[in-house]
Structures are given as structure tokens and as C-alpha cells.
Amino acid sequence: MTKRKEIELGLISLLPRLRRFAIGLSGSSDEGDDLVQAACLKALERHSQWQPDSRLDSWIYKIIMNTWIDRRRSAVQRLSVPGEGLWDQIPGAPLVAELEARQDLKRTWEAIKLLPEEQRQVLLLVTVEGFGYQEAADMLNIPIGTVMSRLARARLALAKQIRDTGGTE
């Protein structure tokens, strides 16, 4: 199997995770989708740069983050709630429980979007995407202690924000 074909197949299997990360990073499902599309295109164009003995997911997450940073530098924009407009599409059982869950999820995303970008990146990589501290440190090119510090500050800020806004019970 060629390297490009291996990347193509790997990207297909990673798409749900990449999309979730990009939406969380950007704060918008439309921009998240654009980020994923741009990152996948860059990955395919630069397939020769990927080392088959390295993790494809780490490589593509770095591409997404670099693309996001490049876009942020070129055009400062206000974040919106991730998934806005999609809340009505969340399937659920009882209507009351579903509405409460939607509200809790929306409150959580609103709190996440208020975090500084550095904390939001670490929080999404570790708690949402399930990467270890060392993997996140490698992806962000920062020491593992910085990852742990940013994650701790992000968790404290989220807890305070949710508590102060009458968050989940």
C-alpha cells in the first residue's frame, strides 16, 4: 500500500475525531468542518512528509492546530457556540431530560469557548480526544509540565464558570 493510500484510509477513520476537535477548537461547526477539510487537503498534498512509523492522528492534529493558528492570525473573529443550530438534532429519550442535557452541553461549550486558546487546546486534546499528557505536549511542542498546568487551570476555570452560571447539577 502506498503512503498516500495509507493516509487516505487513516483520515477516513479519523474524520469524526478530527471534526469534534476542530469544532471545539474553532467554536463553530462550519469553521470546524472547514478546518478539517483544509487539514486533510494539506495532509494529502504533503503526504511525503508523514513518517509511516509515526502516529497519523498526531500529525493531522498538528496540521489542524497550525491551520487554526494561521487563520486566527490572519483574521481575528468572535467565537460562537460549537454546534449552534445542531442542538435540535441531538436524539434523546424523554423530552425534559433531552432539553436539560442540551442546555448543560450548551453551557459547557460556552464555558470552554471562554478559556484562553492555550488552555482550550490542551483541554480538548486530553479530555475530549483522549490523548495522554506526553502526546499533547509533543503535538503542541511544549513541556509536559506546561500541559498539566494548562489542563489544571482549564478545569478550574470551567468548574468556576459552570458553578457561577448555575451549571449542571
pTM above 0.85, yes or no: no
Are 24 and 136 in contact by the 8 Å Cβ rule? The answer is no
Burial (0-12, 13-18, 19+ Cβ within 10 Å), 10: middle
pLDDT tens figures, 71-89: 777 654 444 445 555 545 5
Q: Which domains does the chain have, with CATH numbers?
A: 3-74 (1.10.1740.10), 93-164 (1.10.10.10)
Say if residue 2's pLDDT is above 90: no
C-alpha distances out from residue 154 to 3, 20, 119, Å: 37, 18, 5
Are 22 and 61 in contact by the 8 Å Cβ rule? The answer is no
Instruction: For residue 24, name the pLDDT band (cuts at 50, 70, 90).
Output: confident
Say if residue 145's pLDDT is above 90: yes
103-112: average pLDDT:
80
Residue 129, pLDDT score: 86
Distance (Å, whole) CA 54 – CA 33: 25
Single-letter amino acid code for the residue at 15: L
Question: What is the three-state SS of 83-103?
Answer: CCCCHHHCCCCCHHHHHHHHH
Residue 130, pLDDT score: 87
Instruction: For residue 101, name the pLDDT band (cuts at 50, 70, 90).
Output: low
